[in-house]
Chain A
Amino acid sequence: ETGVTQTPRHLVMGMTNKKSLKCEQHLGHNAMYWYKQSAKKPLELMFVYNFKEQTENNSVPSRFSPECPNSSHLFLHLHTLQPEDSALYLCASSQPPSSGSYNEQFFGPGTRLTVL
C-alpha cells in the first residue's frame, strides 16, 4: 500500500464513547499532521509531529489526544466529544523543513466523524 491511509473512513459515535482514528504513511516522511475540516471553514491544523515529537498543539481541547508511536503511524484518540466536533479529520505527512524539497504535505482520505 502506498501514500497516506486513514481508518476508519466513517465513524459515528456518542458523546460518551471512546474511539481512535488511525493514520499510516508509507512515504518515509518524518512529519505528520492532524487537521479538522468543518463545513464552510478552512482546514484547521490540530497537531504536528516531527520525528515522533509533538511540535505543535493548536489549542486543541483535551478530549482530542494524539499519539505518534513511530514516524509512520499517527493516532487521534477521542473521548467525550461534542456534536460540534463532527467534521472530516484529515491526516497528512511531509518531509521536515530544510530537506530541500517543496515539503508539500500528502494527505490521507480522511475520517468523516459524526458525534451524536
Chain B
Amino acid sequence: DVKVTQSSRYLVKRTGEKVFLECVQDMDHENMFWYRQDPGLGLRLIYFSYDVKMKEKGDIPEGYSVSREKKERFSLILESASTNQTSMYLCASSGWDRGYGYTFGSGTRLTVV
C-alpha cells in the first residue's frame, strides 16, 4: 500500500527549540505539502514543493521553513518553536497517478510548552 510516513505521532518541545518534522513518501510523487490543522480553522497550507530543492510559501509560512533535498522527503522546520505553533501537522503528497488527489500522513501532534 502506498504511504506517506511522518516520523513522529506526538512531540513535546520547549519554547525556543528548533523542531524538525519529517515526512517521507514512497509513491515517487512530485508534489509534497505541509499543513497545520486547528479546531475551527480547517487545514491551512504552510509550505509546498513541486520538485526537489523547490519550495513555495503557502498561506501561513511565518515561523516555518522547509527542506526538500530528495524527492521522497519533505521536512518542516520550526526555527524557534512558540506556543502558538502547538497544533496537528499533516504532510501530504500528490502525483499524476492519483489524479493529484493528496495522500496524507497520519499527522504529528506537536505541543510546545
> Do chains A and B interact in one complex?
no
Chain B interface residues (CB < 8 Å from chain A): none
Chain A interface residues (CB < 8 Å from chain B): none
